[in-house]
Amino acid sequence: MNLFQNIDLFSSLPQIEQDNLSDFCQLQSISKGDVLFQEWEEPQALYIIVSGGVGIYKKNDEWVLRQIAYSQKWDLVGEMAFFGKPPNRNASVIALENTDLIVMLHFSMQELLRKYPSIHEEVKQIIESRIEENKNEWKN
């Protein structure tokens, strides 16, 4: 089954590559209120939302968890940790509704980015855009 046929980020990949990548991914369902991952955890996977939505949360100076963003269908989640130094999660992700995700393991994503520099650049642009959008939220 091709998990990537509806995802713009992967549309430039040849069909065989999309199929191969699908073989190294799995689907995961989480329920409203479930924590997908927490801030400072070491990343194991990147996620693509197939349905539902999640809140992106960060602790402020008083260690209070507050929502800084919302991600929904076809959004990437957890991509920033792949490019961080050290590579740790910089926010927590909690399901705001029942959510289905594609789970792309770290090694699969690293191989894909190595093999297809254009996708690497697109992911970097997504990250830069999100950092800019959330700049003020992350300070508070």
pLDDT surpasses 60 at 39: yes
Listed by start position, the domains of the chain span 27-139
Sheet holding 99-105, edge to edge: 25-30, 99-105, 45-51, 76-77
Residue 8's closest CA among 108, 71, 75? 75
d(CA 61, CA 50): 33
pLDDT of residue 137: 57
pLDDT of residue 30: 98
User: What superfamily in CATH does domain 27-139 come from?
Assistant: Jelly Rolls (2.60.120.10)
Predicted confidence (pLDDT) per residue in 93-138, tens digit: 999 999 999 998 888 878 888 888 888 788 888 878 877 776 665 5
pLDDT of residue 13: 82
Give 139's pLDDT tier (boundaries 50, 70, 90): low
